[in-house]
Structure 1
Amino acid sequence: MGLVQWLKGQFLCHLVICYGFFVSGLLINLLQICTLPLWPINKQLARRINCKLGYSLTSQSVALLEWWSGTEITLYTDPENYRLYGKENAIVVLNHNFEIDFLCGWTFCDRFGVLGASKCLAKKELSYLPVIGWMWYFLEMVFIKRKWEEDKRNFVQSLQNLRDYPENFWFLLHCEGTRFTEEKHLVSMEVAEKKSLPKLKHHLLPRTKGFWVAVQNLRGTVAAVYCCTLNFRNNETPTLLGVLNGEKYHPDLYVRRIPLESIPEDEAECSAWLHKLYQEKDKFQEDYNQTGCFPGPKVTPPCRPWALINWLGWTCLLLYPLCLLLVQLVNSGSILSILATVAFCAAVSVCVRWMIGQTEVKSRDDLFTTSTKCNLQLKDFLPAPKHHSHD
């Protein structure tokens, strides 16, 4: 292990990174609040400003993955489609198997210049997280409670609001609804058997209702669906803490561009189309496990320097007053003040690590402590009676 790699694993480096991210995030949240009076006057300008502010925060995570960890994504895609990435609105369907799949998705967005305007469907609980959750509110993310009768109106309205969005955006959908675990996969395949659907080996059954509603409401605004399949070489199991420790991973991303007009408008036909898509994704994943690569040509999109410049800029800006404060504290000789400062920095680190923990996969005991909980998971996959129209 080299000196640089050793330093990346030290708590002091993690403390600096967490401090910079958290404090800059709070400042960005404050600036976003200042855009509120602008919304009724010039909504599109307010949106553009929030895109830039959102990029300033999310690109720090991209810089952490690309420059700190050294992780480089290899992209497998058709060269003809490659020319269109970043120049059109799209719905991105990405498998949800890894702890850092969202980071890889952000890197993909950044390489094609749509990171600041990227959207996603996220659970309501994430909106309460400081920094990221609050930033997403101003970026018009779609938050849901996973209760269709309550979510439908908000979901549709949020999608309609994107029809006049001033920037090119990608709308991310994890159609499986939750991250893959063996326990969830077992339940999902029991449902597949009950519904006479082909079983999937590497994915959960997709939830078709949200996908159909998104496609219907974004027709005429979105040009295509990007079907993305992510995997990591050598059976790597990447984690956010691993990225923070400077561990280098080797992700491969297979992207297919599917024109939106080729997707059926009828709900039942769209549902069947999505199930077929996931069967194809499952085969790509199986082939990857056997061959170590996806089909088609591969390319590494050029790395943009802006994420690194932004990250270094925030770090220098925020470390300078902190260093001055520490010098003054040492010169003052006040033990109480020094301890208070150390406690504050440690609290910031703990807070950021807690936010990281919110993305981690729950253990088997957390998810399935009783048969009742397992039954509740099963109900989530089963179709509700027709008069409720729940997927």
Structure 2
Amino acid sequence: MSNQSGNTDHDSVVHDVEIDGYSWWYRMFYLFIMSYIVAVGALWVSLAMLVVSALIQPFSVLRARIIKRWLGETYFTLAPYLLQSWNKIDVKVLVKGSIKRDGSYLMLSNHIGSLDWMFGLATAHVLGPPFPGSVKAVVKKSLMYVPLFGWMFWALEFAFVERNWAKDEKNLSEYGKKISDYPAPFWVAIWVEGSRQTAAKLRQSQEFCRQKGLPELQNLLFPRFKAFKALSESLRDKIDGVVNSTVIIDVEKPTSLGSVLSANTKGSIYILLEEHKFDEIADAETWLTGIWIQKDKLLSRYKVDKNAVLQEFTELPAHPQTSFAKVYTLSSVVVLTTVLALIWMYYDPTVLLV
């Protein structure tokens, strides 16, 4: 069985057997194996980025950025691999009109849940190198202090916000200057809803729309303007435009990090992209409101006639997916070395020679 990325059965360790027929123990085994690979990879990549930041960046910012971008690209290709090969999820990236593969953009996306970052990286992977290593995002500053992943976010120059607008406005307004000489292309992702959607938050959003005399959104939270306005003005002269991304999840079970790591998810994910030039954005608030109303209508139409909506877009040919045979091999060597070291430390080494 092959998928849109061109990888084969040899690349996929779980496609030959129905996951639903596996026992709980098999799923836990897959969860352990992939969690280990993700963690070990994050450890080495984050440490390598910190070393590059400390030893190379003081002398050559450009060279350090290129190296860290390559490290990010190497590690973040785990995202499409996890979705498409480790699981049975068919990820399709479709475009209305055209989009520059080598362009730099500010990407707006609907905020579905805890795996939005993975969908974003899978989108960027389709573009090919230097993506997804060139992806940046607006994230909470608290994530910067999360071991391994937070270190990577800092090294890759993500934009951090604190939910304190006085500070956030300054940081976002200066972000464009900070990355003004970052090697193109790159994307900066922002989730303008500001929060993952829940039933309670959707009701609150609809009540807000009623109070303001705005159309009630049925599938999305009403967007927040201030961060988008500050960031778009900061980046306006440095990027090619804005990409409106609509993520549609069509899977049999709710997706979570645990279900993805345990190879227990199958279905389809559609990522619909549309490019907009800054010339279209006379007023950020008015423009973003219109885009979100259109996005909400599109999601409603998808529920009624999926095929009609998808036919409005053209599938973007995917960059060949990376094989992770080397990652498996390296992880096995690390495990074996660790076990032998523990035995050596626990027992008197001379006992092993008897």
Question: Normalised by the size of structure 1, how large is the TM-score?
Answer: 0.76
Paired with 1:24 and 1:277, the residues of 2 have a C-alpha distance of 38
- In structure 2, relative to structure 1, the CA distance for the partners of 1:302 and 1:187 (3 Å cut) is same
Paired with 2:120 and 2:290, the residues of 1 have a C-alpha distance of 23
Specify every segment of 5 or more residues in structure 2 that has no aligned partner in the other structure, as ranges. 1-14, 348-354
* 2:295 corresponds to: 281
- In structure 2, relative to structure 1, the CA distance for the partners of 1:50 and 1:329 (3 Å cut) is closer
Which of 107, 117, 121 in structure 1 is aligned with 2:138?
121
Offset of 1:230 from its aligned partner? Answer: 1.2
Which of 32, 46, 64 in structure 1 is aligned with 2:64?
46
Question: Normalised by the size of structure 2, how large is the TM-score?
Answer: 0.84
* 1:97 corresponds to: 112
Computed over aligned residues only, the root mean square deviation of the Cα atoms, in angstroms, reads 2.4
2:109 partner letter: L
Work out the percentage of aligned pairs sharing the same amino acid: 23
Paired with 1:331 and 1:42, the residues of 2 have a C-alpha distance of 42
* 2:169 corresponds to: 152
- Counterparts of 1:119-268 in structure 2, within 5 Å, are 119-233=136-250, 237-246=254-263, 247-264=265-282
Q: Per-residue CA shift, 1:254-300, capped at 9, x if unaligned? A: 21111122211xxxx22011111110001001000111242513425
Segment drifting more, 317-326 vs 272-281: 317-326
1:99 partner letter: S
Q: Per-residue CA shift, 1:36-86, capped at 9, x if unaligned? A: 2322311111111111111222222331112111322223323x504x2x2
Q: Per-residue CA shift, 1:126-171, capped at 9, x if unaligned? A: 1121221110100000111111012121222223212211131111
Offset of 1:2 from its aligned partner? Answer: 6.4
Contact 2:73 2:133 in 1 (8 A): yes
Contact 1:230 1:252 in 2 (8 A): yes
Contact 1:126 1:133 in 2 (8 A): yes
Segment drifting more, 181-190 vs 282-291: 181-190
Q: Per-residue CA shift, 1:95-141, capped at 9, x if unaligned? A: 01233232122111011022001011101121121221110100000
Structure that is richer in helix per residue:
1
Paired with 2:160 and 2:346, the residues of 1 have a C-alpha distance of 49
- In structure 2, relative to structure 1, the CA distance for the partners of 1:328 and 1:165 (3 Å cut) is closer
Q: Per-residue CA shift, 1:166-194, capped at 9, x if unaligned? A: 13111111110111111111112222222
Paired with 1:330 and 1:235, the residues of 2 have a C-alpha distance of 44
Paired with 1:175 and 1:270, the residues of 2 have a C-alpha distance of 12
- In structure 2, relative to structure 1, the CA distance for the partners of 1:37 and 1:156 (3 Å cut) is farther
Secondary structure of 1:104 counterpart: helix
* 2:284 corresponds to: 270
Paired with 1:204 and 1:324, the residues of 2 have a C-alpha distance of 49
- Counterparts of 1:352-391 in structure 2, within 5 Å, are none
2:185 partner letter: N
1:316 partner letter: T
Secondary structure of 1:67 counterpart: helix
- In structure 2, relative to structure 1, the CA distance for the partners of 1:217 and 1:206 (3 Å cut) is same
Query: Alignment length, in residue pairs?
Result: 324
Contact 1:233 1:292 in 2 (8 A): no
Is 2:331 the counterpart of 1:314? Answer: no
Offset of 1:10 from its aligned partner? Answer: 3.2
Paired with 2:335 and 2:320, the residues of 1 have a C-alpha distance of 29
- In structure 2, relative to structure 1, the CA distance for the partners of 1:329 and 1:4 (3 Å cut) is farther
Contact 1:51 1:139 in 2 (8 A): yes
1:323 partner letter: L
Paired with 2:93 and 2:79, the residues of 1 have a C-alpha distance of 19
Secondary structure of 1:72 counterpart: strand
Is 2:103 the counterpart of 1:88? Answer: yes
Which of 25, 31, 51 in structure 1 is aligned with 2:42?
25
Offset of 1:25 from its aligned partner? Answer: 1.4
Paired with 2:320 and 2:159, the residues of 1 have a C-alpha distance of 28
Secondary structure of 1:77 counterpart: strand
- In structure 2, relative to structure 1, the CA distance for the partners of 1:150 and 1:327 (3 Å cut) is closer
Secondary structure of 1:229 counterpart: strand
Paired with 1:319 and 1:195, the residues of 2 have a C-alpha distance of 58
Secondary structure of 1:71 counterpart: strand
* 1:60 corresponds to: 78
Contact 1:120 1:173 in 2 (8 A): yes
Contact 1:75 1:254 in 2 (8 A): yes
Segment drifting more, 112-121 vs 4-13: 4-13
2:119 partner letter: C
Paired with 1:204 and 1:329, the residues of 2 have a C-alpha distance of 51
* 1:323 corresponds to: 336
Secondary structure of 2:275 counterpart: strand
